[in-house]
Amino acid sequence: MLHLIGCKKMQQQLCRPGVLEELFEGDRAKAAELRQCFVPMYPADAVMAEAVLEDVRNSVLNDPLQFVLKPQREGGGYNIWGDAIVETLRRNDQCVRGRGVRRRKELASLILMKRIHPKEFQAIHVKEGEAVVHPSSSEIGFYSAVLYNAQTMEMIRREDVGILVRTKDASSFEGGVSAGFAVLNSPIVVWCVCCSQSQIPAFAASSLHFCFHVRETAERRDRGRAEVRQDM
């Protein structure tokens, strides 16, 4: 079961109305807070068939550049963009209506996601020993590890284990490192004073300065300062 957590289909299921509320045992405030981190995601077959998603269907057919169609694959190079989204949805929808459970399953495996438009910045990309400056955008991923009892499914331990920054050419739709569309970046942890008087952590990577306004306990903040002083 835990192997499914990172799948795109699981992300799409978490976007369904009422799912977070059920997971948080009816705590609507906590569910609403987490949902602010989401972008809309829909099963492709439902977009083409369900009346309740008519507005979404019209949006993607009229302006497909605001969406991306994702299969259940990883590594980069498999997503569908632009007019190809409209072609794929219409072709598969016609096949589903005409014949075949198989084509229905293929369409259901695709996920329609609203595109994220990150800020662009100048960054140096080093590939095959050559350094080139590109208008770029970055994605930061936070990793965690969990240990469960296989019989009782009781969580024994959970902790944050690291971060990963991928930087790509802003003109590229894809962002896979192994597929050659992006490069790995090495962020460093710094302390800065932002829009408020309190000090909060930030991540600096190349010329890009990520500033995450996160709420931390005084204990964790003080521990971070102590670690920074010790490193110095």
Percent of the chain with pLDDT over 70: 72
Question: What pTM was estimated for this model as a whole?
Answer: 0.69
146 DSSP β-pair partners: 158
Tens of pLDDT, residues 9-56: 888 888 888 999 998 888 999 999 988 888 999 988 888 888 888 899
**Going from the N-terminus, what domains does the chain have, and what CATH number goes with each?**
2-114 (3.30.1490.50), 121-231 (no CATH)
164 DSSP β-pair partners: 141
Tens of pLDDT, residues 92-149: 766 555 555 555 677 778 899 999 888 898 888 888 888 889 899 988 888 888 898 8
Dist. CA 39–CA 27, nearest whole Å:
20
Distances (CA, A) of 115 to 13, 81, 99, 166, 197: 17, 10, 31, 17, 34
Taking 90 as the threshold, does the pLDDT of residue 210 lie above it? Answer: no
Return the SS3 of 145: strand
Structure tokens at 221: 């903040």
Dist. CA 172–CA 137, nearest whole Å:
10
DSSP assignment of 17-42, as one string? TTHHHHHTTT-HHHHHHHHTT---EE
Average pLDDT over residues 68-80: 78
Tens of pLDDT, residues 144-198: 888 988 888 898 999 988 888 889 999 888 877 877 888 888 776 666 555 444 4
Taking 50 as the threshold, does the pLDDT of residue 228 lie above it? Answer: no
H/E element, 12: helix 8-14
Average pLDDT over residues 202-227: 40
